[in-house]
Amino acid sequence: MIKHVGISNWIYIYGEVDFHGMGVGYYSHAIYVLNPERNSRMDDAGLYYSLDETKTWTKSDMKGLEGQPSAIAVHPEKENMVVISTNRGVYLSKDYGNSFDNIAKNTPVTSVSFTKEGKLLAGVITDKPSLMEINLESGEKKNIPIPTLSEDNAIGYIAVNPNNEKQIVFTTFEKDIYLTDNHGGNWIQIAKQGKGMNSQTTTNEGKS
């Protein structure tokens, strides 16, 4: 990530601010951050974006965004498109974060991540934690099977291999890590409560 932006500026901001959320476009290199407080580069709290490797920052209006933000993701190619997940849904903006529409209403969402091709993955909580794939062009939503998580657990972070979209990794609130090479056909648990473990294959129902 650092290789895509101005290193000196990037380190400078990191040394001053603990951002509550941050996302970078894979191709566009557009950077969006949820800034918690005023600092030397940003006048006050809110959503900011940079299109010039952190040299300048622009504040977004964030109209329509509701709930407590949990994660942020930036479209890989379209620098104007950003997604923020909250406890009220998945909020999509197509105008640099100035206005948002909820595309997964009344659904607590704990994490979001774009694939290299622009599909959106979201960690959601309905009757249980699950992983949803959203096609932003068609609006189609489908669940990707995942192992059963404990009652108080949920998906915290999601990453997709840019060279193989079938390979997905997610971490949980309890610091477990799961990996699939076949888009959720089966999963391997590679860490439990933050500690590495011998690979354990699980079905999408969570059975060994």
pLDDT for the residue 126 = 85
Phi/psi at 90 (nearest 5 deg)? -110, 120
Question: Do residues 15 and 96 both lie within one domain?
Answer: yes
Structure-token match 């860490």, residue found: 191
| Residue 14 shares a structural domain with residue 70 | yes
What does the DSSP assignment read for 88-121? TEEEEESSTTSB-EESSTT--EEEEEE-TTS-EE
| pLDDT tens column, 131-172 | 999 999 888 999 999 999 988 899 999 999 999 999 999 999
Are residues 137 and 156 both part of a single domain?
no
Q: What is the mean pLDDT of residues 172-200?
A: 90
Domain that holds residue 101: 2-144
Domain count, the chain: 2
Q: Of 144, 168, 189, which one is at a domain's C-terminal end?
A: 144
Q: Which amino acid is at 185?
A: G
Which whole number is the average pLDDT over 28-55?
90
> Of 144, 165, 192, which residue sits at a domain end?
144
- Confidence bin at 49 (pLDDT 50/70/90): very high
Mean pLDDT, range 186-208, rounded to an integer = 73
Last residue of a domain, one of 129, 144, 159: 144
Higher pLDDT pick, 89 / 193: 89
pLDDT value at residue 7: 36
Q: Which residue has the higher pLDDT, 94 or 3?
A: 94
Q: In this structure, are 117 and 192 located in the same domain? A: no
Q: What does the pLDDT read at residue 205?
A: 54
The band of 202, judged by pLDDT with boundaries at 50, 70 and 90, is low
- If asked whether residues 192 and 208 sit together in one domain, one would say yes
Q: Above 80 in pLDDT, residue 26?
A: yes
Verify that 113 and 177 share a domain, yes or no.
no
For the domain that residue 40 is a member of, what is the CATH number? 2.120.10.30
Task: Tell me the average pLDDT of the chain.
Answer: 87
Under the phi-then-psi rule, with left for phi > 0, alpha for psi from -120 to 50, and beta for the rest, what region is 193? left
pTM of the predicted protein model: 0.86
One domain for residues 23 and 85: yes
Q: Would you say residue 79 has pLDDT above 80?
A: yes
The verdict on 184 and 81 lying in the same domain is no
- Strand order across the beta sheet in which 46-50 lies: 21-24, 31-35, 46-50, 58-59
From edge to edge, which strands make up the β-sheet containing 195-202?
A: 155-161, 164-172, 177-180, 187-192, 195-202
Q: How many CA atoms lie within 13 A of 84 on its CB side?
A: 30
pLDDT at 204: 61
